[in-house]
Chain A
Amino acid sequence: MNALAAIGEALVLIGTFFYFLSALGLIRMPDVYNRMQTSTKSATLGSLGVMVGVGIWALGTDFGSAAWLVKTIAIATFLLLTNPISAHALIRAAYKSGIPLWEGSVVDKYREHLEAKEKVAEEAPAEEGGEE
């Protein structure tokens, strides 16, 4: 049973280290898009490590039971599904509220996508008119 506690503790250590890395990325990155990129992914991975690690660690202790592992895996799955959604909504809000990209950024795929969509919307009625 003690091997389970050791495995869980190692997972918790990895998870908290990724928490620390995500906070560090929140400090060190130059603009809001880069901050979101670095911090959200590593915070999600850190949550997975901490929660599954706590579930496995509790199996190795005397008070733990299988319900710990089930509940922690449920929380980890919920965070794994919802964290990218909230990050996507936040960064979309940032883009739509007009926050500029960092001056070192070279690619803006979303603007290209919007421009292509506008071009298609402009050309489509003209083509229909030409066919008639």
Chain B
Amino acid sequence: MIGINVYLALIAIATLLSMYRVFRGPTTVDRLVAVDIMTTITAGLMVLFALYYERMIFLDVALVYAMLAFGGVIAFARYMEGGL
């Protein structure tokens, strides 16, 4: 109907808006929240790339990326809390 390029452009705009919060954010947790949203968006971007290039292996890449991003965010949150 509309084409996959429009969705990729929407995701690019969303990533740029999150980048603004990463650079601007007054506190560290603001930047962490923005990075968390960016990793979620990037997982969706990888799934869309799998459809764009017609390669199913990118889905595995997206799954591993989501797992590693989850671990990283948990580690950073523990560090901010003072438990690490």
Residue ranges of A at the interface with B (Cβ–Cβ < 8 Å): 6, 9-10, 12-13, 15-17, 19-20, 22-24, 26-27, 32, 35-36, 39-40, 43-44, 46-47, 50-51, 54, 57-58, 61, 63, 67-68, 71-72, 74-75, 78-79, 82-83, 85-87, 89-94, 96-97, 99
Contacts and interface: CB of A to CB of B under 8 A. Distances in A.
Nearest to B10: A16
Interface of B: 1-2, 4, 6-7, 10-11, 13-18, 20-21, 27, 29-30, 32-34, 36-37, 40-41, 43-44, 47-48, 50-51, 54, 56, 59-60, 62-63, 66-67, 70, 73-74, 76-78, 80-82
A26 B21 contact: yes
B10 A36 contact: no
A51 B47 contact: yes
B17 A23 contact: yes
A90 B36 contact: yes
Contact of B14 (A6, A23, A57, A61): A23
A63 B50 CA distance: 12
A75 B13 CA distance: 23
Contacts of A15: 44
A102 to B, nearest CB: 12
Contact of A6 (B1, B40, B47, B76): B1
B48 A50 contact: yes
Question: Which residue, of A19, A22, A46, A51, has the highest number of chain B Cβ atoms within 10 A?
Answer: A19
B43 A40 contact: no
Contacts, number: 152
B63 A19 contact: no
Contacts of A92: 77, 81
Contact of A23 (B18, B44, B66): B18
B11 A78 contact: no
Contact of A26 (B29, B34, B80): B34
A54 B48 contact: yes
B71 to A, nearest CB: 9
Nearest to B26: A32
